[in-house]
Structure 1
């Protein structure tokens, strides 16, 4: 064995044997670095020839046109992302990613991404069958919903479905609670939001008065949180309050239609106030369109009461439309399940199925077959209703 081969083997071994030890790079602990990421980094850099002479771990805090800013043990670096081939839009470098960085390059560059634990993904606004990763490695998806306008329960259900699908824990922040005239009304709005988001904690907050911020910060402490919501939902004000310093500019909503202006234009990962428990926040631009992406599992959790009822339907493949013995329709008729919830569930399920069919040829064929079967059934029922044709 040559000396160089021996050294390579020794280095490779040293990078892979201590995966259960305390994580190195304590400077990254505040950004979510732990023993699990340490082990992934050691696996990714086990081959020195591929990893480079002195690879560094880094967390992406901002992405901008082929470059990204990362926090590393050597400080904050700006690195190229061209080495990570972006042929797969789901593997494009994203805010929140952990990466292997070659800091010796000129300029430094990202060699590879560590496997994501979670990813908040929506469909693109185009008709192409692609997803867009908004934030990676997120523990909580904090959905901001403003109380200065009527609650859009359907939009809440859409955001919650995507949050569950990402693998993160959704959390609803009802912002601008100080604009609601009395506590009884706030309690009523919280109950409405809770009914549209089973299993999701709902907290009314006010960035102006500070009400509700302490319990919210307690939930988020120490983890990575993606802040999501429409423009005008008060995301920037909430971000400033949680961060403990003014980092995002705040704009008023438009008077004529109550819609917000885009204050945040990039996705930035920022450290939360230490006195509130620490952690990091990924502030995202306001989202006017939130298309589902591979959200079947998330829909099941967002509409968990419908899924539970469906288990008692007579037919296993019940579509909850007009089938006999449908437990879901029975619950709607008795008032146990709001009809609006069922309509929303059907709508989002159809949307998710259509999107999935764009990339799945077998699913497209199944949909065409089902459509033809329904057409044939319709013709058959029509003929039975009209009766047999008389011979001339």
Structure 2
């Protein structure tokens, strides 16, 4: 039997080092999840697996369970005598999470160990800048790099206007335009695809994620449906799925999100323009409403910043619990979200400094 090259599935020394500490177990990557059953890829190919009772018992919430993209440790590399058992989930280098839909405070892992997040938004009825800001805030928080992928360009009569609007919220983020109605309409995303790199396709239902992936795969591996009469696409993906592209690279297809509630977000990256202005305000705890010397209000009055963007920023701050914090408290809260504590931040800085000195 030919062994599967797990490096083509994104295996790196980061995961190999931790995996080596689990004697008698084998490393695998989660490709699909169906309730309590997982499909994983190991050195012998794809097999089915379930989580161990101990792992399930020790999981504090759903984020403690394996998710698509996770590297896990299993007890066997063939399932002819029963499903493999997942005993450990290796540390995630990145993870895209959202607050579970509804009133629950539980977090939901959308994709793990991703290098890029393709935020897909159609240029027709799906176009929504405020939703795009939400996606960007979570994507930057995931520790992966977001790329805005504007789909269905063939259905857009005012492309230049839409691109200008996107530029007002895409600070520091690449923007590419696609149209899968044309044979080469997906070519603009090819430069981002590399062997061993994982890309998660995120976006609303029917924006063309599955169609793009089918183009990259060179065949129809994912179901797609025609656009409705109202211009909106139809929801087709029902579960998350990791696929190895024939020319290298890994993609994760995800179901469309009707609701995207924030559990945590990196507003400093997604709203760099507002935070840069806020640092120039006369008062550090400026609320950007009626205070004198507010640089943010001045930018709005000068037509350099849209009022709607500030409203979105303040709304997202409130949603993740930043509302009412002064400048110092806000910085401390960001450190806590990123590193866990001030001590861990200092430890991370020492590690980077030491690593740079060795170069």
Band of TM-score, shorter chain: 0.7 to 0.9
CA contact (8 A) 1:96 1:138 kept: yes
Residue 328 of structure 2 is aligned to residue 352 of structure 1: no
Map of 2:271 onto structure 1? 303
- Closer, same or farther: CA 212–260 of 1 in aligned 2, 3 Å: closer
The aligned residue for residue 356 of structure 2 is none
Task: Output the CA distance in 1 between the equivalents of 2:136 and 2:184.
Answer: 23
Whether the aligned pair in 2 keeps the contact of 1:69 and 1:78 (CA below 8 Å) is yes
Asked whether 1:88 is paired with 2:61, we answer: yes
Post-superposition offset of 1:141: 0.7
79 and 124 in structure 1: CA distance in 2 versus 1, 3 angstrom threshold = same
RCO comparison, higher one (Cα < 8 Å, 6+): 2
Structure 2: how far apart are the matches of 1:125 and 1:75? Answer: 34
CA distance in 2, matches of 1:28, 1:330: 54
- Is 1:175 aligned to 2:175, yes or no? no
CA RMSD, 1 decimal: 2.2
2:74 maps to which residue?
101
| Deviation larger for 140-149 or 100-109 | 100-109
For 1:140, the equivalent position in structure 2 comes to 116
2:10 match: 32
Find the residue that maps to 1:353 and give its secondary structure: coil
Indicate conservation of the 8 Å contact 1:203/1:212, yes or no. Answer: no
What is the aligned counterpart of 2:262 among 272, 277, 292?
292
Partners of 1:186 and 1:204 within 8 A in 2: no
The TM-score, its normalising length taken from structure 2, stands at 0.83
Unmatched runs of 5 consecutive residues or more in structure 2: 324-329, 331-359
Asked if residue 249 in structure 1 is aligned to residue 219 in structure 2, the reply is no
Match of 1:290, SS?
coil
Give the secondary structure class of the aligned counterpart of 2:40. Answer: strand
Q: What secondary structure sits across from 1:337 in the alignment?
A: coil
Q: Name 2:20's counterpart in structure 1.
A: 42
TM-score, reference length from structure 1: 0.76
Per the alignment, residue 341 of structure 1 pairs with 309
Give distance in 1, aligned partners of 2:220 and 2:256.
18
Find the aligned partners of 2:246 and 2:190 in 1 and give their Cα distance: 9
Q: Bigger radius of gyration, 1 or 2?
A: 1
- Specify the SS of the correspondent of 2:321: helix
Question: In the aligned structure 1, how far is the partner of 2:156 from the partner of 2:293?
Answer: 44
Alignment-derived partner of residue 132 in structure 2: 156
| Aligned-partner Cα distance in 1 for 2:238–2:4 | 31
How far does the alpha carbon of each residue in 1:60-81 deviate from its partner, in whole angstroms, 9 at most, with x for none? 0001121211110121110111
Is the Cα contact below 8 Å between 1:231 and 1:285 reproduced in 2? yes
Structure 2 distance, partners of 1:128, 1:249, is 30
Q: CA deviation at 1:211?
A: 4.2
Residue in 2 that maps onto 1:380: none
When residues 90 and 347 of structure 1 are mapped into structure 2, their CA distance, relative to the original with a 3 A threshold, is same
Tell me the equivalent position of 1:238: 212
Q: Residue deviations 1:96-131, cap 9 Å, x none? A: 000011017843110101100111000011322211
**Higher helix content, 1 or 2:** 1
Cα drift, residue 179 of structure 1: 2.2
**What number of residue pairs does the alignment pair up?**
317
Deviation at 1:212, TM superposition (A): 4.9
Change over 3 Å in CA distance of 1:354–1:258 after alignment to 2:
farther
Corresponding residue number in structure 2 for 1:8: none
Match of 1:280 among 220, 229, 250: 250
1:319-341 Cα distance to aligned partner (Å, 9 max, x none) = 11211111111111111111121
* 1:314 Cα deviation from its structure 2 partner: 1.1
* 1-structure distance, mates of 2:217, 2:263: 30
Q: Tell me if the contact between 1:161 and 1:301 (Cα under 8 Å) persists in the aligned partners.
A: yes
Structure 1 CA distance for aligned equivalents of residues 71 and 92 of structure 2: 8
Q: Distance in 2 between matches of 1:128 and 1:115?
A: 25
